[in-house]
Copies of this chain bind each other. A is one copy, B any other.
């Protein structure tokens, strides 16, 4: 196997495992024939599922791992007792250079703990972040952090901006991505002190695109900016609020469309046009949250994702590996490092 395109896949992580990871790999392999996969988990279970996909015979291997991380495990416990788990082994494959990226649909906290332990911090980055895509009126917006670092210093936020814009530029193929800090008002006088300090630094920092200062939460959705930076608590709340609202709208629309013959006829006529609307909010197309600030590529697939969603997470990994994303981030971080000061804590 050529090392460059081997993706290590935790075949046991997520509600639809092992189907979603393995069938997802088959789908991703159809799209990019150069991809190779290393499935990690219970050998018998994986072999049984893999048989359903003849295309995987030539481009995948299996690494047996007897245990798996429970969905409700505390990260610290998973880390201490999890050395025989499929998740730990998946990360280890990247840490030891056998694979180019690790993808798992399992417990996010455990995956981040293992990734930090196994892959180590990237030089110059104090804390990791999780970046994901959120639907907007224009292109999907890169939002970070989604839950890795709940309370952030100004330095953390600045580093997230550097890494998030690199992701938008290199992986999302967005030239000169604009970037802003999430705040509760656009004026410079609002919000926490850390956010205002981060804004002051970012106005002086060389980023691949313009820094727009503060945006409010409705501006994420309007697509006013390409990359939105916030702490992990707030980012998680914003993402899940948007998902919940989109879900409510979709459910209500479905209910509405069944309300009487007239509505049913209307819904039938509207259906083709509505497909693109629903597509914009299809979580599968935005699947694959990337861990930033580590010296290796790890990607979290949503726990409830099906095979099509999992395939998207694999294609994100492929983009990151193919464009040598890590080196781009290392370069970007070292370029701006002088400006970030020394207010951030070390990664622990």
Binding site for B on A (CB under 8 A): 72, 74, 109, 135-137, 147, 150-151, 182, 184-185, 187, 189-192, 216-222, 230, 232-234, 236-249, 251-253, 256-257, 259-260, 262-263, 265-274, 276-277, 280-281
Q: Is the CB of A240 within 8 A of B266?
A: no
Q: Report Cα–Cα, A102/B273, bound state, in Å.
A: 47
Do residues B245 and A246 form an inter-chain contact, with CB atoms below 8 A?
Answer: yes
**A247→B244 CA distance, assembly (Å):** 14
Asked if B276 contacts A192 (CB within 8 A), the reply is: no
**Complex interface: chain B residues within 8 A of A72 (CB):** 187
Q: Which residues of B contact A191 (CB under 8 A)?
A: 150, 233
Would you mind naming 26 contact pairs between A and B with Cβ atoms under 8 Å apart? A109-B185, A147-B184, A150-B184, A150-B191, A184-B232, A184-B236, A217-B237, A217-B239, A218-B241, A220-B241, A221-B245, A222-B247, A233-B234, A237-B237, A242-B244, A242-B245, A245-B246, A245-B249, A252-B277, A256-B273, A256-B277, A257-B270, A260-B273, A262-B269, A266-B266, A269-B269
Selected contact of A267 from candidates B190, B243, B270, B280, CB within 8 Å = B270
Main secondary structure of the interface of A (DSSP, over half): helix
Residues on the B chain within 8 Å of A274, using CB: 256
- Measured between beta carbons, the chain B residues less than 8 angstroms from A242 are 241-242, 244-245
User: Whose C-beta in chain B lies nearest to the C-beta of A151?
Assistant: B192
Query: Could you say which of B217, B233, B273 contacts A184, with CB atoms under 8 Å apart?
Result: B233
Contact A266 B273 (CB under 8 A): yes
Q: Which residues of B contact A246 (CB under 8 A)?
A: 245, 249
**Could you tell me the distance in whole angstroms from the C-beta of A83 to the nearest C-beta in chain B?**
21
A212 CB, min distance to chain B CBs, angstroms: 16
B222 and A244 contact, CB distance less than 8 A: yes
Chain B residues near A265 (CB-CB < 8 A) = 266, 269
Complex: how many Å from CA A232 to CA B184?
Answer: 9
- What 4 A-B pairs are tightest by C-beta distance, nearest first? A266-B269, A218-B244, A221-B244, A266-B270
Contact partners of A280 in chain B: CB under 8 A: 252
**Chain B residue nearest in CB terms to A261:** B269
B residues less than 8 Å from A187 (CB atoms): 72
CB–CB B253/A277 < 8 A = yes
Check A237 against B238 for contact (C-beta < 8 Å).
yes
In the docked arrangement, what's the CA distance between A189 and B248, Å?
A: 28
Q: Is the CB of A182 within 8 A of B237?
A: yes
B136, B234, B237: which contacts A248 (Cβ < 8 A)? B136
What's the Cα separation between A262 and B136 when bound, in Å?
26
Cβ contacts under 8 Å, A151 to chain B: 192
Contact, CB under 8 Å: A263 / B273 = yes
Q: With A218-B243, A240-B217 as known contacts, state yes or no: A192 contacts B272, CB within 8 Å.
A: no
Interface-centre pick from A234, A265, A268, A269 (highest chain B CB count, 10 A): A269
Give A274 to B277 CA distance when docked, in angstroms: 16
Q: A243's closest neighbor in chain B, by CB?
A: B218
A14 to B218, CA, bound (A): 19
Residues of B within 8 A of A219 (CB): 244
With A218-B240, A241-B242 given, name 20 new contacts (CB 8 A): A218-B243, A218-B247, A219-B244, A220-B241, A238-B238, A241-B241, A241-B245, A242-B242, A242-B245, A245-B249, A249-B277, A249-B281, A256-B270, A256-B274, A257-B270, A257-B273, A263-B270, A266-B269, A266-B270, A266-B273
